[in-house]
């Protein structure tokens, strides 16, 4: 692993372009450029983004500046390592294969110069925080991710932007909004499928009835 090692976490870049957000991004990009000059390895230990949900062919333009800075650092020889947090755990091929050299979904244990380090975002480690641990398992569930991906990106990110970090931000409110949207989509899909099935059954029954009537008529005509 390349030295020196740098660690950052919980930057929470959000989707709202406030003055504080602009300043935060400028400082972060300045830091990434510094790392790019010194070389080494940069660990981003979760929640770089306040919300990141990766669609197959779509990325949020709001993060273009920092994504560009990180990619430039990688091209200059910096190794980029990423541990997803509770706000940016919905990555796909772009984060896993294009931007970062290595992604550790559950954290990682490393031996560095004879010492062992556990590197983790830390969410869900507290055994007594049962409510969040249940919520975490739901949010990372493949079915949940699949259903949320059915939302159009404009809708998915509009929901996230509405709950994105501000002065009175509350984690559970944001998660609740995302879960509600996914639940609504789930029941909409289930209702749509049930409607199609019912219509198909009705059409089949009507077809069979008409076929039976026509067959009976044909039998009568043949007897006559």
The mean pLDDT value for 7-15 works out to 91
Q: What angle do CA 200, 204, 208 make, to 5 degrees?
A: 175
- pLDDT by residue (tens digit) across 74-123? 999 999 999 998 877 788 889 988 999 999 988 899 998 889 999 988 77
Handedness of CA 82, 57, 155, 65 (dihedral sign): positive
Residue 88: its pLDDT value, please? 79
Count of domains in the chain?
2
Residue 23: its pLDDT value, please? 93
Average pLDDT, the chain: 77
Q: 2 and 95 share a domain?
A: yes
Given 68, 101, 123, which residue is the final one in a domain? 123
Query: pTM for the whole thing?
Result: 0.70
Given 68, 103, 123, which residue is the final one in a domain? 123
CATH code at position 78: 3.60.21.10
């Amino acid at each position: 692993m390349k030295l020196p090692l740098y660690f950052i976490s919980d930057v929470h870049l959000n989707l709202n372009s406030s003055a504080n957000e602009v300043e935060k991004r400028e400082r972060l990009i300045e830091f990434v450029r510094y790392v790019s000059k010194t070389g080494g390895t940069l660990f981003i230990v979760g929640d770089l983004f306040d919300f990141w949900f990766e669609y197959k062919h779509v990325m949020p333009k709001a993060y273009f500046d920092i994504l560009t800075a990180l990619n430039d650092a990688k091209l200059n020889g910096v190794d980029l390592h990423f541990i997803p947090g509770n706000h940016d755990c919905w990555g796909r091929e772009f984060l896993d294969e294009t931007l970062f050299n290595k992604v550790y979904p559950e954290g990682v244990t490393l031996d560095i110069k004879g010492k062992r380090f556990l590197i983790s975002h830390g969410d869900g480690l507290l055994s007594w925080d049962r409510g969040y641990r249940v919520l975490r398992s739901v949010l990372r569930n493949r079915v949940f991710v699949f259903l949320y991906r059915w939302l159009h990106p404009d809708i998915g990110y509009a929901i996230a932007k509405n709950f994105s970090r501000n002065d009175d931000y509350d984690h559970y409110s944001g998660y609740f909004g995302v879960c509600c949207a996914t639940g609504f989509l789930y029941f909409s899909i289930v209702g749509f499928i049930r409607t199609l099935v019912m219509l198909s059954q009705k059409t089949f029954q009507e077809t069979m009835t008409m076929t039976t009537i026509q067959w009976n008529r044909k039998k009568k005509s043949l007897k006559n």
